[in-house]
Structure 1
């Protein structure tokens, strides 16, 4: 049995016309010989009646009294509604269908309510329905504990549900349908000549997702990578195949021509840089700094530590608390607020000399100071001021010929 998993986000289910496109995609894959599993998010976005953020807002006035287990019961309602509606419409289109909650689909999680982790999937009920020729519609974003309590998987949970089910069912491919036609080389709102990317590696898409290209959740990609299941990011409103995410082996094919080492440019805003140094009374002690921040749940990035100082970044909303904690240790701390992280991403640049030189040259020509930098196997990050971020994106996009 050839299985395909199709995940449809909230905008794909928000109107009657959008739902007609969903039905078309399901019917096309059935006609292509696939057994189809459909994973759905809640309908719409913030402000729409059953969107997850809208449901959360109902509890906001009573935040001090919220029980997280009960909150997950509420948040699961959005997917229950969308799954029931789309399941009914599938049957109305002449295709047999069954709707399953995350619990009924066999998605077992831990009891970290609001951000539960999948620990096992028992797909027997799904397999039985597929063998009977039914389209199986599963509520994304949710599962159940061993004790039977409803849980939700946190942000990007429906993407995670889709790839986890794909892995458990040994699906041929997982299609993530959204309102854009795949992954672009940059944010088209800021870079007018951004173009679609036909193919990326798991590592590249994870970097892009973490750094602002919000087309698929990195946790979902990591699950697909472990199971070696290809993922496509596609538009609900198009027949185009979008962006294919698969193993990096294609990049290292000896017959391939890697004339482009950079795949895309991403960014993140709202970052504050902290420069911490010692005083005559209190020498610089990185251990005290980072242990204190960790104990208060503050995540750090762009970390540079020397004998005399520590330089790192935090999210802007955590900057005041971080400053207070460090000052309480008797250390000097200087803040640089309103910074942006610009990411140059590409598996093909690993081991290629000159990439950083081109980044520095391009930004220097636009008189954009680099406040800090870091790198990994598939990305180079630079920290700039927010006021320079848009220009940094444009000039780096052009420098690496991503508009061609």
Structure 2
């Protein structure tokens, strides 16, 4: 049995017209000899009546601080509505479609409500349905604890659901359908000549996702990578081939390996605050540890960390800045906050041990008079903190400098 998992995002199931396009994608998979497993997100985006954000808003009209467990009970509903309607659409076309919740589909999680982690995925029920020639239509974003509590997997969780199901079913491929034709070298709203990538490695797409690209959830990629399940990001609204995510080097039509570029894409994160903590000689030797321990105990995540004698620099999401500053001041630290910052990153598996990559990165920004507030790099990415007002110019200059339009 050749199994393919097809995940459809919120815009792909939002109206009868679009659901007909989904139907055709499922029919095509069957015509090609696959047994499709369909995974769906809640219908539409914020403002749509059954979108997850809309449901959260309804719950919070009663109490803004509603408990995470109770919030999961209403967040569960969006995908259930979507899956029932999509199953009905397939049934109307003559398919034997069966709607399953995440729990029905065997996705077992821990009890971290709103952001649960998958502990195991038992595909027994799905395999039974496939052997009967039926099409499972599964609620993405959902799981269930061992003792039957409903859980959700965090934002982007439908991608994670699809990938986990693909891995447990040993699927030939997981298709992630969205409203774009694939993963692009940069945000097309900023870079007019951004291109669709034909192929990208698991590691590169994880880096792009972690650094701000809204392409696919990194947890989904990490799960697929464990079993080397190919992922394809493509559009519900076209027949474009999309972007293949895999470890296998893709070959062009002439049989020659694709050119190994230094960089694959440029991405960015906004709404960032830089914090500088000043340390003096009178402080204990473990002062740096205490700074990060204070933030960790308050569930505040940090990024772009630089530790120097006498000073620590790091960044946090602006939503947590006021709370972080208060915590650190209460501990007696002198701090400086720089608001309205953004993180811009160049990602590429080809930059490992290549001389001059950082020089090119800095040159691109300096030539455009973009202030560099902080940098950090790894084997596959270089990130820089810049004023948020310079994001567009930074992304454009780096995209051009690294030849991503060609």
Same fold by TM-score greater than 0.5: yes
The 2-side partners of 1:67 and 1:314 are apart by 25
> Is 1:281–1:330's contact at 8 Å kept on the other side of the alignment?
no
After TM superposition, give the deviation of residue 69 of structure 1 in Å. Answer: 2.6
The change in CA–CA distance for 1:376 and 1:65 in structure 2 (over 3 A counts) is closer
| TM-score, structure 1 as length reference | 0.96
Structure 1 residue runs without a partner (length 5+): none
The change in CA–CA distance for 1:281 and 1:352 in structure 2 (over 3 A counts) is closer
The 2-side partners of 1:76 and 1:266 are apart by 31
> Partner of 1:44 in structure 2?
44
After TM superposition, give the deviation of residue 283 of structure 1 in Å. Answer: 6.4
Deviations 1:17-54 (A, max 9, x none): 21111001000010000000000001011111111110
Deviations 1:291-350 (A, max 9, x none): 111111111111111221111111112122222222223322111111110010011111
> Partner of 2:181 in structure 1?
181
Further displaced range: 272-281 or 393-402: 272-281
Q: CA RMSD in A?
A: 1.7
The 2-side partners of 1:219 and 1:227 are apart by 13
After TM superposition, give the deviation of residue 59 of structure 1 in Å. Answer: 1.2
> Partner of 1:363 in structure 2?
365
Would you say how many aligned residue pairs link Structure 1 and Structure 2? Answer: 402
> Partner of 2:34 in structure 1?
34
The 2-side partners of 1:93 and 1:377 are apart by 50
Structure 2 residue runs without a partner (length 5+): none
> Partner of 2:356 in structure 1?
354
| TM-score, structure 2 as length reference | 0.95
After TM superposition, give the deviation of residue 279 of structure 1 in Å. Answer: 4.3
The 2-side partners of 1:403 and 1:65 are apart by 46
The 1-side partners of 2:238 and 2:405 are apart by 22
Further displaced range: 193-202 or 313-322: 313-322
Deviations 1:153-203 (A, max 9, x none): 111111111000000000000000000111111001111111101110111
> Is 1:202–1:248's contact at 8 Å kept on the other side of the alignment?
no
> Is 1:9–1:40's contact at 8 Å kept on the other side of the alignment?
yes
> Partner of 2:289 in structure 1?
287
> Partner of 1:344 in structure 2?
346
The within-5 A match list for 1:81-120 is: 81-120=81-120
The 1-side partners of 2:91 and 2:237 are apart by 21
SS in 2 for 1:241: coil
> Is 2:250–2:258's contact at 8 Å kept on the other side of the alignment?
no
> Is 2:375–2:382's contact at 8 Å kept on the other side of the alignment?
yes
> Is 1:279–1:331's contact at 8 Å kept on the other side of the alignment?
no
Matched, 1:63 2:63: yes
> Partner of 1:265 in structure 2?
266
After TM superposition, give the deviation of residue 64 of structure 1 in Å. Answer: 5.7
The 1-side partners of 2:227 and 2:359 are apart by 37
> Is 1:177–1:233's contact at 8 Å kept on the other side of the alignment?
yes
The change in CA–CA distance for 1:330 and 1:66 in structure 2 (over 3 A counts) is closer
The change in CA–CA distance for 1:368 and 1:89 in structure 2 (over 3 A counts) is same
